[in-house]
Each structure stands twice: as structure tokens, then as C-alpha cells.
Chain A
Amino acid sequence: MEGLWWEINGTVLLTEKDLGRTVVESRACSRVSLGEMSAWTMGARGLDKRGSFFKLIDTIVSEIGELKQEMVQTDVSLENGLEASKSHSMVRHKDDGYSEEKDMKTCPRDSGYDSLSSRLSILDRLLHTHPIWLQLSLSEEEAAQVLRSQPPGIFLVRKSTKMQKKVLSLRLPCEFGAPLKEFAIKESTYTFSLEGSGISFADLFRLIAFYCISRDVLPFTLKLPYAISTAKTEAQLEELAQLGLNFWSSPADNKPPNPPPPHRPPSSDGVCPASRQLCLINGVHSIKTRTPSELECSQTNGALCFINPLFLKVHSQDLSGGPKRPCTRTPNANGTERPRSPPPRPPPPAINSLHTSPQLSRAETPASMPETVNHNKHGNVALLGTKPAPIPPPRLKKQAFFLDAEGSAKTLTGGRPRPGQERPEPQEPQAPQEPEPEPGPGTAGRPGRAPPAEAPGDCTRAAGPESRPPWHGGGQRLSDMSLSTSSSDSLEFDRSMPLFGYEADTNSSLEDCEEESDQETLAPPIKSKKKRNGSFVLPKLVKSQLRKMSGVFSSFLTPEKRMVRRIAELSRDKCTYFGCLVQDYVSFLQENKECHVSSTDMLQTIRQFMTQVKNYLSQSSELDPPIESLIPEDQIDVVLEKAMHKCILKPLKGHVEAMLRDFHMADGSWKQLKENLQLVRQRNPQELGVFAPTPDFVDVEKIKVKFMTMQKMYSPEKKVMLLLRVCKLIYTVMENNSGRMYGADDFLPVLTYVIAQCDMLELDTEIEYMMELLDPSLLHGEGGYYLTSAYGALSLIKNFQEEQAARLLSSETRDTLRQWHKRRTTNRTIPSVDDFQNYLRVAFQEVNSGCTGKTLLVRPYVTTEDVCQLCAEKFKVGDPEEYSLFLFVDETWQQLAEDTYPQKIKAELHSRPQPHIFHFVYKRIKNDPYGVIFQNGEEDLTTS
């Protein structure tokens, strides 16, 4: 009973943590009585409306389970009760059982943590030892060399320069002819899979872990090196990991005392009673109480590590129908029943509210995050292949030599390799979804739920477990599955469809936006549904059937979000170089308001910093495990960019906004904008060049709301998404009323009109923020286009003057635009009044009469030809064909071509960073001998 108690505690701990609660809180929860737990369970069941993706996963898993009998084989050894079974390649399950058993025997009052920490799944082992097998920079020859001395089944993951892909290099047995074979790893936007396989995974670790259990498209399953598969503690694994590439040549990589088991061990069902026996004796760990089908499935699940294995227990209990049987553990010989211990379901964070619970749990997530981060740093020391092979530490040897005495090995290593703070670590690899708070209680339990637990008519689950039809027989095959899958899914999907449709049209998600600005507040109800656990993945087959529901898949962002979070956490940790970099920069910027001369300067510096930090992160080893193993390559930059927004722009947002305001107050541009907004608003649309339907008052209000939402975002990309929605709305208004397609000729005037109607000064800084901080790679796309248009519209407004209403932009506007192009930091010298548009000072140079100057009315798009004509009149030149307009600048003369625009040239000269002295001179074309002489005396011509 004692053991049971702890087991339940353990369960609660895990599930609670999955829900985003802090460990501390969970522990507190675990003090409550079993009765209370049952109550929770009942409450939680009401929340059981998870999507049937989990069902899909179950099916995949069950199918795999049917095909692969490795687990059963493992249990054969258990049944035999032989310590020698240690020599198994599939160590995990056996280890689990065994060490747990010992644990419970020797330490019944274990807090629940220790037994957890001793349970190393294959995924754990892979995570800890990636410096050994994940050798992205290894060449084909080097990989072959490493694997040559290894037994069949041993593998490496490297990056093939030939294919530009990651490949799995697998050592083959002699009878295959070649010593090794490479399997390409396909990376889609969100997933990793082996080429030719329909099963994809959220990250590389899960992929490898899966193929350690199931061969799928491989000739046989992968094998972990003996030392890795037999390590008892994380500390041991990390010691191995420190060897890096040298592991392969070091004595640590010892071979098993017995030959490895055959690749495809015969299946045997006779093992179950024995394993269950063990459980009974100990009264713990329902994992071992499974029936044969349960066993293989649950084990497969465990290996897949889609979920925390403990969830299976939670889940299956839920199915077995009773919150009333918290402690029952009925042995059953035929194994078709489910006499599993029914640990209570995790308590819902909020009263049966699927919608609000994620919020509550999310708020508390950060408390548990640092553990994860600290944990991640441990692997860092292991440098890939760069260290000389150190002599294995004594403890390692001990482990290698006394593998059979594993109970003592465990004792030797203390059972708690980490200080208390880090004890829950093992949970992380085991249930890597943890950093991502769970949307609804128990959601995580779904994906890996054992098929026997899944009733075929699972769509009735909302009605409660009791109403479920009983399970009959073996797992459902994937092929049988599709129909029920899509049908049950559609139930749920229908409800979320409107949101996805909405998102689709602007490629954005309002939800994301809201999440960004108000992480701690309640989000729309639909959110909890969207926030699925993303670490399980669907097979292609199913994907294609659910293509229409692609919106759902877009919510499978967990690995990405997890990575963003991880980086954000790292950025707050001043013990890392990256953290220092970010924190120092952020505080420097906040404390030194005078360090930037202009708003552009400030924003550019920030953008530059983000870009550099991104580069640093993608190259440094501070991210552990390496980002390539968790995020498909084409997404790495996207993820890093998001992370930069979170760790740099988020803390700086307030400061940046204040600074932008200050800059624009100081230079008077806001005052000008304000005045011009007034002016423009008084115009009717036609005066602005609008000849298309315009949004009415209601639409303008809607647009204003979107702009106000935009102001709350810190991510420039999300701001742009909102801008796109505004544009979409404008188009809808324009097109709905006329049924035609509108190009920029019509759109830009309407956009200008709308922006003026919104009358929001802040839009100016919003646009500036986006233009300078948006990921430059996005500037050519749709976002960049409409951002440019919005900037252009605002420029038009800023320079709107009554007499210009139907005319052109001032040269000053052009300068402003050009300034953006150049991204200059220097302030442009303000032109004097007569430098402005419409007037041009022209000097008239005549051989006899010297120089005279006149200020002529020359509009911006008047050509040189016309100016010449004007000059001929003004200066009374009899033979105008002999004369032309010249530009004298930088001590050189340039004759201006007839179709150039003198005003434009003037504007461009003004916009140069360094002031230039220049003159427009009307003079004879023929290079008369006096020209040279006159050059010296001309400096003051135009000002005279």
C-alpha cells in the first residue's frame, strides 16, 4: 500500500507537471488522500474531449506493437528472472522494471522522485548521449571507420554533404554485403522522418528512439552501444557523452559479455504473468501489470516517448472505467482485461473548464522551466570528437564490469545523481512535452495511449468513460483506422474551423497575437483546443486524409515553441554567454538613452544585434541538444527569429516605444503628421485619388481595433500579420462592392484614405518599428509589400499640403524615403526654403556678361528640356539651341539630358549624406575657352 501511495504520487507529479504546474505544487497535491484523487479523476474525465489524433497514434502504436515483438522478448528474460538478461539491447524496459523493483524494495519511502530518476528510457539515453551518436559534421568515410568496429545495429547520425540532408548511418551484419547503409532523414516543416517511411516525429531523438524499437523501413532495429544501453544513471550517461566521438574508440565502448540477441527475436506471449507477478509483489508500477497486448503497446509507446509512460496508466485507468478503484490491481491470467492500477487523473487546474485551464497552468510554467534549462547545459561539455579519449572514470568501469550487480550500481551512484532541485529531470526527456504546458488535463496521455484502452467508438468519449464500449481483442490496424479517425476528428474540427479559416486568409493567427501580448491572461476559448501537444506525429496516410484539416496540423508547433521557450530561458540565464550577451544589451539600451542619434539608428542597432545573436546561437554549442536535432533545418531560422523577438524585443518593447515617441516629438514630425492628418481627413476620397469603394465608418472602426491590437505586439512579424489583415479587409470592401480586382493604382489611395481616417499618430512608429525590425528575409514578400505601401501612404499624408493635394510629393518626402533605403544613420541637413520643390535657382553664364542668377518656378516633374526653354525666355537668349542646362557639382560639369528632372536631381543631391555645393547653370553647350576661367568665379553665383 505504501508503494502504491508513492506510485500515485509519482503519477500526480508527472501529470501535474505536464499540465504546467510547478513541481512544488504538485508535491503538495500529492498529499491529499486517495479519495480526493478519485474525485479529481472524475472531474478530469469530464475534460476528456481530446481529439482523436491520439487515437490515431494509438493505432499506429498498436500496429507497430503487433508487428514488433521486441518487448515481449524482453519479457521473456524477465520471466526467466535472470540477471544475465542485462545483455539485452532493449535495455530500457527490463531496466525499468528491474530498477524500479529494487527501488521500491530498498526504498519504499522514496519520495517518488528517485524511482523516477532511475528509470532511463531509450529517449533519455539518446538525449544524454547525443554527443556520441549525433555527429553532424562527420564525413562518410569517418562514419564508416567508426562503425566498422561496431556490431550490427549500431548507428550514427550525420549530415551528408552529398545529399544536403541528415542521414542515419547503420552498421549492417556481414550477410548484407555492405558494411553499412545510409538512410536519408527527411525534414518537413514540422517533422523528421526516414525517407520512405510514413511515420514522422517531432524531433530526431524521437525518431531514433522509435527505430530502436521498431524497424519500420530499416532492415532491423537500431541498437544503442552496450555501454549506453546499460548505463544506470544519467551521470553515467553523461560521462559517456563527454567522450564525444572518442567514445567509439575508447574502452568505455565495451561490448556485451554475451552476443546480442537476434534482430528479430521470436515473439512470446508467455511472459506476462511473470511480469505481472513482479508487479504484484511490489505493488507498484502498473506498467508491468499489462497484458501482453498492453505490454507491447505500452512499451512501444514508452519507446516512442510520445508521452510519459505513466500517462498510460492514468489513461487506461480512465478507460477501465473506474475512479472507484484507485488501488486495485487484479492479476489476470489471460491478460485481456485491464486490471491496471488506476491512479487518479490529474486534477483539472480549473473547474472542469477545458478552456481556462491552460491559462492557469501556463502562468505557473516558468517556475519549473529553469530546471529544464540547467539540465540542458550538462551535455555541453561533450565536444564532438574534439577531446582526446579520457580514461573512463572508475565508476564507469565499475558499471561496465559489474553490470549484473545493478542494484548496487544504483546504490553506488547514489540514485540521486543530482541535487534535489534537479531531481525531476528525468521527466523531461521522458515526457519532453513538459516545458509546454498542457492545454487540457490529460491531453498528453492520449497520443501514446495503448490501443486496448481505446474503444473503437471513441468519439463517444465525451459521454464519459463508463459509457464506452468494452475493448475487444487486439489493436486496431492502421488500415482499418482511417475512416473512424476522420469521422471522429471532424466532430472536433468543425468547431475550430472558423478560426482556421480566418487564420488562413492572412496566414496568421490572432490567437498567437493575443498569446504574445497577454501570455498570462485568458485567451479565447478556442485556444485550448488548438494548443495540442505537438510531440506526437501522424503518419502521412492519415495526414492526407485529414488534409482539409491542415489547420490543426499548423498547431503542432510544440517543438518549435519548446525551442523558443528554451532559448528565452537561456537568455535570462546570465551564467551562459548567450544570456550575458542578451541581458547586458537589454540593460545597456535601457540605461543609455542617449546612445542613439535617431530612431532609425536605434532600431537598426537592435536589428543588427538580433541578427548577430541569431548567428551566434546557430553556431554555438550553448543550445543543447543542438537545434538541428529538434527543429527541421528549414525552420531553424524562423525559430531563432521568434526566439530573438521573445528574448530581446519583448523586454525592450516599452523602452523602444518611448524612445520612438521622444524622437518624433523632438524632431517635430509628429506635430506635422498630426496637422496633416487633420488636413487629409477633411478631403473627400476623390481628392486623394480614390476611385474605388472605401470602408465605411464601421469598417474603419474594425481597422482601428486591429491597429490597436498591433500596438500590443512586440514581434514585428505579428504586427505585419495584423497589417495584412487590415489590407485584406480593405480589399474585401473594395472588391465586394464592385466584383473586380484592384491593383496598386486603386489600393494605395484607399489605404492612404483609411490610414488618415484611423487618425492614429502611433501608426507612424508602428510602421517604423516593423520596417526596421522585421526579419529582412521577409521584406520581399507580401508582408514587405504592404508594409512598404503603408509606409508610402503615411509619407503621403505627412507631406500632404493643401496646395499639393493633387500634385506631387515634396522633395523632402523623397529624401525620407531614400533615407530608409539607405538606412542611413546620419541626419540629413535641412534644406533652405528656396531649396524646396517648385523653385530652382539657375545661373546664367554668358561669355560677355558674366553670371546672373534667377530663381525659376520649376515643378518637380518638369524636364530639363522645359527648364531650358524657360531659361531661354527669362535670360532672353536668342539662340536657345546653343545653350543647355548644366550641373556643376564636385568641381565637374555635367550637361543634363533633356528628359531629366532638375528638381529630382536637386533632391537627390540634398539627400546625400555629405552636403554638396552645386549649381544649375544655363550656358552655351560648346566648350568655349572661357568656361575654364569662369569655373573659379562661380561659387557664389546662385546665392547672389
Chain B
Amino acid sequence: MMAIRELKVCLLGDTGVGKSSIVCRFVQDHFDHNISPTIGASFMTKTVPCGNELHKFLIWDTAGQERFHSLAPMYYRGSAAAVIVYDITKQDSFHTLKKWVKELKEHGPENIVMAIAGNKCDLSDIREVPLKDAKEYAESIGAVVVETSAKNAINIEELFQGISRQIPPLDPHENGNNGAIKLGRSETLAWLPGRPAATGQELSLEKTPEKSAMLPPNGLWGVKCTWEGTC
């Protein structure tokens, strides 16, 4: 019996930095029978083991063009993690990345895990963003950082492993015995006892009033938990 946690991950970054290439590479490498094909590359899933758990990443791609910027909150709402991608050959994209980080800090889910991916590291000869800059910045905001190449499949796994490690493990006692977490797909699954609610952040994302008192806030942590039978 192994717990499957569904983790919503959103992809942010300028258009053209290779957001979807990273995901395609991540999802499609190492062919896995268990992957259920999605209908398009904007939304993909992949399950990876992490300790005693299985992390099922539900990866939400966003459109990077500025005109869609205002839609982003709908995408990162309820995310457990965000992958913010920049292009190491474009200083502008790193600037945009900083804006995203700031927006996430202000309006994103509380405790969202942030991972910075400097993509196109295969083109380091025309690099504009030094790795040092990215590392320093990532450190200052407590984010995972890695330079990737979706083209050459460099550091893609590592990126998501880094995210997995940052996701706090479930307390087995809490979800095993108290019945608060039902098995299977259920609204109560999103609720993890003892976790701060990702709600009521300054200007956005108030606690959803929709739920009755007996139900946890919807989408908290973007984490769901199901049990995989030992088939």
C-alpha cells in the first residue's frame, strides 16, 4: 500500500522559454505504462516515487504572453509547487521570472514550493544570465534552482526530484487512522490536518466559503491522497 499524493504544479515563465518542452521531456522520458495519456501538452501528469509516497504531478502549463498574465492566478491557485522557467540566453526572461516570484509570494498559495529552471543550458555560449545570479536569487527566495536543457534532457528529472524533496511528507498516523482522509477521490482528501491553510492571503484567495464546516478548504496545498491497492 503506497500513498499517492496528487500535487498540482504550475509552470510559469515567458513565452518561448521552453516551459512545455521541459514538461514533455519530463513526462515522456522513461516510458511508463502507468501514464495515462493526456489530451494535450498543456496539462500533463507523471507519477514519481518519493520516499514512501508516490507523487503524482499534475502539471498546469500557462500561457506566457503578457496578455494572459492576468489569468495566471487561476492556474497557480491551489498549486503545491510552481516551476518558473527562464531562458539563460535571454535576460528579459529572468526579469519576468522575478516578477512571477514576487507575484507568487504575494498572492500565491502559502508554502508553495518554488523551483527555478534556467532552460536552454545547451546554449551556454550565448548565455545572458550567469548561473551565479540565478543561484543567488534562488537562495534569497528559498527556491530550488537548476539549469536545464529540455533539448538534451539535462537536469529535467533533477528539477522535479528537487520539488518532491521539498514537499513535506504526509504523517502516516494522521491519514491512516483518523478517517479524516477517505480513501479514493473525495473532497476531504485535500485537507491535511496540521497544515496551515493556504487561504486568506492579502489581496487574493480567500478561503472558499463554499464548504461546509465539516469540509476542509478546497484545494489546500493542491495535495490529494489516494491509496494504491497492492494489486
In the complex, the answer to whether A808 meets B66 with C-beta atoms within 8 Å is yes
8 A Cβ contacts from B70-99 to A: 70-71, 73-75, 77-78, 98-99
Asked whether, in the complex, the Cβ of A777 is within 8 Å of the Cβ of B189, the reply is yes
Given contacts A780-B58, A899-B98, contact A818 B204 (CB under 8 A): yes
Contact A742–B211 (Cβ < 8 Å):
no
B203–A728 contact, CB under 8 A?
Answer: no
Is residue A615 contacting chain B, with contact meaning CB distance below 8 A? yes
Given A747-B40, A789-B42, A808-B67, the answer on whether A188 and B229 have CB atoms closer than 8 Å is yes
Q: Which residues of A contact B77 (CB under 8 A)?
A: 821
**Is the beta-carbon distance between B185 and A814 smaller than 8 angstroms?**
no
Q: CB distance A634 to B42 under 8 Å? A: no
Q: Which residues of B contact A253 (CB under 8 A)?
A: none
Minimal beta-carbon separation of B170 from chain A (angstroms): 14
Count contacts on A: residues with CB < 8 A to the other chain: 71
CA distance A156 to B113 in the complex (A): 47
Q: Is the CB of B42 within 8 A of A743?
A: yes
Are B75 and A788 in contact, CB atoms less than 8 angstroms apart?
Answer: yes
B125 at the interface (CB under 8 A from A): no
Partner of B185, one of A611, A744, A777, A909: A777
Task: Name the contact of A792 in the complex, choosing from B21, B71, B204, B205 (C-beta under 8 A).
Answer: B71
Q: Cβ of B16 and Cβ of A745 under 8 Å apart?
A: yes
A505 located at the interface, meaning its Cβ lies under 8 Å from any Cβ of chain B in the complex: yes
- Is B78 a contact of A745 with CB atoms below 8 Å? no
A137–B15 alpha-carbon span in the complex (Å): 55
Q: Of all chain B residues, which has the CB nearest A771?
A: B74
Interface residues in A732-756 (C-beta closer than 8 Å to B): 741-745, 747-749
Shortest distance from the beta carbon of B174 to any chain A beta carbon, whole Å: 13
Instruction: List residues of chain A with CB within 8 A of the CB of B160.
Output: none
| A161 interface residue per 8 A CB criterion | yes
Closest to A788 in B: B74
Contact of A611 among B37, B40, B45, B211 (CB under 8 A): B211
Those of B14-63 within 8 Å (CB) of chain A: 15-16, 19-21, 23-24, 37-43, 45, 58, 60-63
Q: Is B40 a contact of A742 with CB atoms below 8 Å?
A: yes
In the bound complex, what is the Cα–Cα distance between A899 and B41 (angstroms)? Answer: 32
Is residue A277 contacting chain B, with contact meaning CB distance below 8 A? no
Pairwise interchain contact A743-B224, C-beta atoms closer than 8 A = no
In the complex, the chain A residue whose C-beta lies closest to that of B28 is A741
Q: Is B102 close to A, CB under 8 A?
A: yes
Q: How far is the CA of A824 from the CA of B208 in the complex (A)?
A: 8
Is A505's CB under 8 angstroms from B78's CB? no
Contacts of A821 in B (CB 8 A): 73-74, 77, 204-206
Partner of A781, one of B58, B61, B227: B58
B209 contacts chain A at the CB level, 8 A cutoff = yes
The residue on A at minimum CB distance from B41 is: A741
Chain B residues lying within 8 Å of A807, measured Cβ to Cβ, are 66-67
B210 in the interface, Cβ–Cβ < 8 Å?
yes
Which of A749, A818, A899 touches B73 (beta carbons < 8 Å)? Answer: A818
- CB within 8 Å: A-B pair count: 197
The complex places the Cα of A674 from the Cα of B38 at a distance, in Å, of 33
A861 touches B205 (CB 8 A): no
The interface residues of chain A lying within 8 Å CB-to-CB of B189 are 777
Is A924 close to B, CB under 8 A?
no
Contact yes or no, A822 B205, CB < 8 A: yes
Encoded as 1 (CB less than 8 Å from any B CB) or 0, chain A from 794 to 815 comes to: 0110000000001111000110
Q: Cβ of A782 and Cβ of B102 under 8 Å apart?
A: no
Q: A731-B40, A818-B73 are in contact. Are A775 and B187 (CB under 8 A)?
A: yes
Indicate whether A731 sits within 8 Å of B39 (C-beta atoms), given known contacts A608-B211, A743-B19, A744-B62. yes
Contact, CB under 8 Å: A809 / B209:
no
Interface-facing stretch out of A441-449, A635-643, A699-707: A635-643
Instruction: Return the contact of B19 from the options A638, A745, A778 (Cβ within 8 A).
Output: A745
Chain B residues with CB under 8 Å of A899's CB are 98-99, 102
Q: Are A786 and B219 in contact (CB under 8 A)?
A: no
Q: Does B126 contact A (CB under 8 A)?
A: no
Cα A809 to Cα B74 with chains together (Å) = 14
Interchain CA distance A724-B38 in the complex, whole Å: 10
Known contacts A161-B177, A861-B69, A779 near B211 by CB under 8 Å = no
Q: A637-B185, A899-B99, A899-B102 are in contact. Are A824 and B15 (CB under 8 A)?
A: no
Tell me whether A780 and B65 are in contact (CB under 8 A). Answer: no
Q: Which of B45, B203, B209 contacts A825 (CB 8 A)?
A: B209
CB <8 Å contact, B20 and A742: yes
Q: Check: B218 CB closer than 8 A to any chain A CB.
A: yes
- Whether, in the assembled complex, A572 has its beta carbon less than 8 Å from a beta carbon of chain B, the answer is no
Does A83 reach chain B (CB closer than 8 Å)?
no
Q: Which of B21, B67, B187 contacts A637 (CB 8 A)?
A: B187
Q: Given A807-B67, A820-B74, A821-B74 in contact, is the A742-B210 Cβ separation under 8 Å?
A: no
Interface string of B191-214 (1 = CB under 8 A from A): 000000000000111101111101
CB atoms of A809 and B219 under 8 A apart: no
User: Are A633 and B183 in touch, CB under 8 angstroms?
Assistant: yes
Measured between beta carbons, the chain A residues less than 8 angstroms from B23 are 743
Q: Does B215 contact A (CB under 8 A)?
A: yes
Which residues of chain B come closer than 8 Å to A781, judged between CB atoms? Answer: 6, 58
Are A814 and B70 touching (Cβ within 8 A)? yes
How distant is the Cα of A731 from the Cα of B37 in the complex, in angstroms?
13
Contact (Cβ within 8 A) A724 B39: yes
Residue of B nearest to A637 (CB): B186
Asked if residues A823 and B209 are in contact (CB atoms below 8 Å), the reply is: yes
Considering the chains assembled together, what is the distance between the CA atoms of A633 and B183 in angstroms? 7
- As a 0/1 sequence over residues 756 to 775 of chain A, the CB contacts with chain B under 8 angstroms (1 = contact) are 00000000000000000001
* Contact of B224 with A780 in the complex, beta carbons under 8 Å: yes
Shortest Cβ distance from residue B7 to the other chain A in the assembled complex, whole angstroms: 9
Closest B residue, CB atoms, query A813: B70
| Contact A744 B63, beta carbon cutoff 8 Å | yes
Minimum CB–CB distance from B39 to chain A (whole Å) comes to 4
Docked Cα-Cα span, A905 to B42, in Å, equals 29
CA distance A775 to B211 in the complex (A): 12
Also in contact, A742 and B41, with CB within 8 A (given A164-B183, A611-B187, A689-B67): yes
Contact status of A822 and B212, CB under 8 A, knowing A777-B190, A780-B6: no
A659 interface contact, C-beta 8 A: no
Q: How far is the CA of A808 from the CA of B222 in the complex (A)?
A: 28
Q: Cβ of B185: which chain A residues have Cβ within 8 Å of it?
A: 634, 637-638, 777-778
A635 to B78, CA, bound (A): 24
Encode contact with A along B132-170: 1 for CB under 8 Å, 0 otherwise. Answer: 000000000000000000000000000000000000000
Does B130 interact with chain A (Cβ within 8 Å)? Answer: no
- Answer whether residue A776 sits at the interface, using C-beta atoms and an 8 A cutoff: yes
Residue of A nearest to B205 (CB): A821
B70→A791 contact, CB < 8 A? no
Q: Is the CB of B67 within 8 A of A796?
A: yes
Smallest CB-CB separation from A795: which chain B residue?
B71
A604 touches B (CB below 8 Å): yes
Collect the chain A residues with CB atoms within 8 Å of residue B111's CB: none
Q: Which among A741, A775, A905 has the greatest number of chain B C-beta atoms within 10 A?
A: A741
Given A742-B41, A742-B42, A823-B210, does the pair A634, B226 have CB atoms closer than 8 Å? yes
Given A748-B68, A749-B63, residue A782 in contact with residue B39 (CB < 8 A): yes
For A187, A611, A789, the residue with the greatest tally of chain B CB atoms inside 10 Å of its CB is A789
**Which chain B residue lies CB-closest to A730?**
B40
Taking a contact as CB atoms under 8 Å apart, the answer to whether B41 and A743 are in contact is: yes
Q: Which residues of A contact B (CB under 8 A)?
A: 161, 164, 186-188, 505-506, 604, 607-608, 611-612, 615, 633-638, 689, 724, 727-728, 730-731, 741-745, 747-749, 775-782, 785-786, 788-789, 791-792, 795-796, 806-809, 813-814, 817-818, 820-825, 861, 899-900, 905, 908-909, 911-912
14 residue pairs bridging A and B, Cβ less than 8 Å apart = A186-B229, A608-B211, A633-B182, A633-B183, A634-B183, A636-B182, A637-B182, A637-B186, A728-B40, A745-B20, A747-B61, A775-B187, A780-B78, A780-B224
When A and B form their complex, which 6 residue pairs have the shortest distance between CB atoms, in order from nearest? A743-B20, A634-B184, A908-B203, A744-B61, A809-B70, A792-B71
Given known contacts A638-B184, A745-B61, what 10 new A-B pairs fall within 8 Å (CB)?
A: A612-B212, A615-B212, A724-B39, A728-B39, A745-B15, A745-B64, A782-B38, A807-B66, A821-B206, A905-B203
